[in-house]
Chains A and B, each alone.
Chain A
Amino acid sequence: MHTFKAHEIRDKIKSKELSSQEITKAFLDRIDAVEDKVESYVTVLADEAMKAAKAVDEKIAAGEEVGALAGVPMALKDNLCTKDVLTTCSSKMLYNFRPPYDATVAQKLKKADTVLLGKVNMDEFAMGSSTENSYFKKTKNPYDISKVPGGSSGGSAACVSADEAAFTLGSDTGGSIRQPAALCGCVGMKPTYGTVSRFGLVAFASSLDQIGPLTKDVRDCALVYDQIVGYDPMDSTSVNREYASFEDALTGDVAGLKIGVPAEYMGEGISAPVQKAVMAALESFKGLGADYSEMHLPLNEYALPAYYMISSAEASSNLARFDGVKYGFRAEKFDDLVDLYAQTRSEGFGAEVKRRIMIGTYALSSGYYDAYYKKAQQVRTMIMQDFDKAFETYDVLVTPATPTTAFGFGEKTDDPLQMYMADICTVSVNIAGLPAVVLPCGYDENGLPIGLQIIGKPFGEAAILNAAYALEKTISKVKPAL
């Protein structure tokens, strides 16, 4: 039962073939069976989940109206606030934080009558590409537990891949949904900036962060997105517009679709198996009536340095709120108020978080602001213009999601720049605020999943999801052997 997709669970519960309690129990059993190996959860809410499932079953039995995803068991990344439920950001700084409110996405999924199984692991404050920066545990890649699941939403990806939840939500600042989705062989989407409310998402880099689904297939991705998308007055960057159903837009028809393949994403640094699988997928698209051609995004190599200046600057400002006064950890020993702040922050934050705060503070400090922060914002404008031009000719762009398949624990932890390179295919999308979906397009010689990324125009989720849906039908998926 735990292998059921979210849309299958939804349909079976609706037709009373399955009860919410049965499926929730099946997932809790699955968590019991594999969680020792995978370690994707920070918090499992077994009793609460069964209670919620019972409530859904009672509603259905009473003939009451239920939400669109009634009874579907899911998990949330641990930087999404859940009322009275631990929300740690996988940091010592928030080890005991129980938010007094729900994030808008958590509230929306509650309204849809989903069942919350728990909160999943991540790189501390979403900074990292391997989930090795979690204060609590190291999540494993279900396809090979000696490999990382990617990050920062590594727990979200591993959880779905290991069938420990029907779907999860993650957050994506520079690839944090898409890169782990690629490494764990699931579907992950970073929506257009402003389409999903960030209210209740613990902020990392506010102009780049976006919440999105990680799912077992493309249909699930569309139906989860349908539930979380929409204007929210509680988020001042939320876009006020109407959205048609994304699930209904899945026709699988890609005849005449114009696909651009940026050469800059296919060259040096991209491993041979990844290139080969992406090329094969492009041929599959051709077989379905789409047309692809090589094109150029010449500024791509500047996206990563611009990203690290902008995201670190915003992070240094956003993380100033963690000072040992309002919530979370407080150091035991301090001399005065300023020392209380400094001592708390020094003991509460891990090495990577400190590194980003330092870089960001440096880039924003007097004398360096113009050279780094403003410069990066100007390059941001140029990168966006690059994409605008590309979309005059092409409907969607196709690239690898990651340069390589999953790497080993400790392989990239000594050199921060090495780790940052893991996001080389994904950061420019955040810089430009575009939507992009990642799905598995093949496996390497060791059976590790290879991810393909489809990038769309702003608000072009329907087009990229439909293209992914068409391609998915041509791929034979392999489940991890756990």
Chain B
Amino acid sequence: MKISKEEVLHVANLARLKLSDTEAEALAKDMESIIGFANKLNELDTDGVVPTAHAIPMSNAFREDVVKPSYDRDAMIKNAPSADEGGYTVPKVVE
């Protein structure tokens, strides 16, 4: 199982991670060994086996559609690294 540095950088971009060259090289090696380990799963014939997402039978958890008090806006925003006028502030996205 070979994972190239280019593949690592592609996945890093999907995950919104910026990697240094050393990090990317180390990760290529680690991912090769971990994904290689996961290839062990191919020893099992899973044809027709239904995948399990949750260990207990689960159906949609519905609740009554009623208005309830929510968290206070200022309390929720207090943790933001940057906020203004009751909103989060981020770099401009539209010119």
A320 to B15, CA, bound (A): 8
A237-B46 contact in complex given A342-B16, A362-B31, A374-B51, C-beta closer than 8 Å: no
A379 to B47, CA, bound (A): 11
Is B2's CB within 8 Å of the partner chain A? Answer: no
A328 to B78, CA, bound (A): 10
A326-B80 contact in complex given A417-B33, A458-B56, C-beta closer than 8 Å: yes
B17–A305 touching, CB < 8 Å: no
A380-B14 contact in complex given A236-B61, A330-B82, A359-B35, C-beta closer than 8 Å: no
A358 to B79, CA, bound (A): 27
| A interface size (C-beta, 8 A) | 72
A417 to B90, CA, bound (A): 39
A379–B44 touching, CB < 8 Å: yes
**Of the residues B8, B55, B91, contact of A336 by C-beta under 8 Å:** B91
A358–B56 touching, CB < 8 Å: no
Within 8 A of A (CB), among B9-66: 11-12, 14-19, 23, 27, 30-31, 33-35, 37-44, 46, 49-56, 58, 61, 63
- Please name the residue on chain A nearest to B62 by beta carbon: A236
Is A432's CB within 8 Å of the partner chain B? Answer: yes
**Binary interface profile of A, 310-340, with partner B (CB < 8 Å = 1, else 0)?**
0000001000100111111110001011101
Is B76's CB within 8 Å of the partner chain A? Answer: yes
A365 to B81, CA, bound (A): 31
B12–A337 touching, CB < 8 Å: no
A381–B15 touching, CB < 8 Å: no
Is A377's CB within 8 Å of the partner chain B? Answer: yes
A342-B17 contact in complex given A337-B91, A377-B51, A380-B51, C-beta closer than 8 Å: yes
Is B75's CB within 8 Å of the partner chain A? Answer: yes
- Please name the residue on chain B nearest to A330 by beta carbon: B81
**Of the residues A101, A308, A345, contact of B16 by C-beta under 8 Å:** A345
Chain A nearest Cβ from B87, distance in angstroms: 11
B55–A433 touching, CB < 8 Å: yes
Is A431's CB within 8 Å of the partner chain B? Answer: yes
A376: chain B residues at CB < 8 Å are: 38, 41
Interface residues on B, range: 35 or more
Is A343's CB within 8 Å of the partner chain B? Answer: yes
Query: Interface majority SS on B: helix, strand, loop or mixed?
Result: loop
Is A97's CB within 8 Å of the partner chain B? Answer: yes
A354–B34 touching, CB < 8 Å: no
**Of the residues A323, A342, A358, contact of B11 by C-beta under 8 Å:** A358
Within 8 A of A (CB), among B62-78: 63, 71-72, 75-76, 78
Chain B nearest Cβ from A60, distance in angstroms: 32
Chain B nearest Cβ from A214, distance in angstroms: 22
B81–A377 touching, CB < 8 Å: no
- Please name the residue on chain B nearest to A314 by beta carbon: B53
B34–A431 touching, CB < 8 Å: no
B44–A316 touching, CB < 8 Å: no
A354 to B18, CA, bound (A): 10
A346: chain B residues at CB < 8 Å are: 17-19
A432 to B56, CA, bound (A): 8
**Of the residues B55, B72, B88, contact of A326 by C-beta under 8 Å:** B88
A361-B50 contact in complex given A302-B40, A334-B91, A416-B34, C-beta closer than 8 Å: no
A193-B79 contact in complex given A342-B17, A359-B34, C-beta closer than 8 Å: no
Chain B nearest Cβ from A310, distance in angstroms: 9
B72–A100 touching, CB < 8 Å: yes
B33–A354 touching, CB < 8 Å: no
**Of the residues B55, B82, B90, contact of A337 by C-beta under 8 Å:** B90
A382 to B78, CA, bound (A): 46
A98-B31 contact in complex given A336-B91, A361-B11, A382-B49, C-beta closer than 8 Å: no
A325–B80 touching, CB < 8 Å: yes
Chain B nearest Cβ from A54, distance in angstroms: 26
A415 to B18, CA, bound (A): 22
B37–A417 touching, CB < 8 Å: yes
B90–A100 touching, CB < 8 Å: no
A445 to B79, CA, bound (A): 49
A305-B38 contact in complex given A342-B17, A357-B17, C-beta closer than 8 Å: yes
**Binary interface profile of A, 248-269, with partner B (CB < 8 Å = 1, else 0)?**
0000000000000000000000
B63: chain A residues at CB < 8 Å are: 233
Is A207's CB within 8 Å of the partner chain B? Answer: yes
A432: chain B residues at CB < 8 Å are: 55
A358-B31 contact in complex given A237-B58, A239-B56, A325-B88, C-beta closer than 8 Å: yes
Give 10 nearest A-B pairs by CB, closest first: A433-B55, A377-B51, A330-B81, A327-B79, A378-B46, A236-B61, A378-B49, A100-B75, A346-B18, A361-B15
- Residues of B near any A CB (own CB < 8 A): 8, 11-12, 14-19, 23, 27, 30-31, 33-35, 37-44, 46, 49-56, 58, 61, 63, 71-72, 75-76, 78-82, 88, 90-91, 93
Instruction: Identify 12 new A-B residue pairs, CB closer than 8 A, beyond the known A372-B41, A378-B51.
Output: A100-B72, A193-B55, A207-B54, A309-B41, A342-B18, A343-B18, A358-B17, A372-B35, A375-B41, A382-B44, A432-B55, A433-B56
Mind listing 11 A-B residue pairs with CB under 8 Å? Answer: A100-B78, A301-B40, A334-B91, A336-B93, A345-B18, A346-B19, A354-B17, A372-B41, A415-B33, A417-B37, A458-B56
